[in-house]
Amino acid sequence: TVEARAVQNGGGLTLAVMLFGADGTRCYSAKVEMDARAHAPSRPAPSPGALTPWRDVIYDGAAMFHGPKFHAIQGLEGESEQGLVATLLGQRELGWLSAGHVTDTALLDGAVQLGVLWIRRRLGGSSLPTSLGAFLPYRDATGPVRAVLVGRAVGRERAVFDVTLLGDDGAAVRELRDLELHVLPGSTEHVARA
C-alpha cells in the first residue's frame, strides 16, 4: 500500500510518501518535492578519473540478477576506483511500454544497476539500494544515454554515489544524487580484478 499526504503546498507541493507491506509494516518512506520549474545542472558533469577497460561479465545472475528485459547496461566504457562510465538503454530499447511516462524508468533502474555493479567490484557481494538523496530531472531523456557514476563514500558494507545521465550534447539530462546501496548480509565474497 502506498500512502501520500501533502505536508506543504507553498512554492511547490511537498508530499510525505510511505510504502507499507501486506502486514502494515512501513517498508519505505520519502519526502517528494514537486516543482514545475525547469532545473539546470548546478555543477559540471562529474568525472570518475582515468578509466581502465571493463573485462568482466555484467549480468552474472547473482549480484546482477536482472532478466533480459532489465538489461539496461548496454556497455561499459570503463571503471576506476572512483566510478564507472557506461551506456544505458531506455524503456523503448528494452521493449517496455512507454506511452504516458514522464520519466524513463529503465534509465533510472540502469543507474541503480551501475551502483550494484560498482559495489560488486569494490566491496564484493550483492547489494540493494537503501536511500536516494535527490532525483533531478533537467530535460527530457530517453535512451540510450551515457551514464557517469562517481563514488562519494565507500565503507565496508555500503557506498554512496551520484549518477549523472548525459545527453548527446554532453550536458546532464538527469541526476541521481546521494544514492546509497548496502551489501546484503552473507553475500560478501572476494572479487578479483580481471
Q: What is the pLDDT along the chain (194 residues), one digit of tens a residue?
A: 989 988 877 767 888 999 899 999 998 888 888 776 556 676 777 789 999 999 889 998 888 898 999 999 998 999 999 999 999 999 989 988 765 666 888 999 999 999 999 999 888 889 999 899 988 888 887 779 999 999 999 998 999 999 999 988 888 989 999 999 999 988 875 443 33
Distances (CA, A) of 95 to 64, 72, 90, 98, 155: 20, 11, 9, 9, 37
Q: Encode burial over 151-168: b for 16+ CB neighbours within 10 A, e otherwise.
A: bbebeeebbbbbbbbbbe
- Residue 105: all three cell numbers together: 524508468
Residue 132, judged by CB atoms within 10 A of its CB (0-12, 13-18, 19+), counts as: middle
The pTM of the whole model exceeds 0.95? no
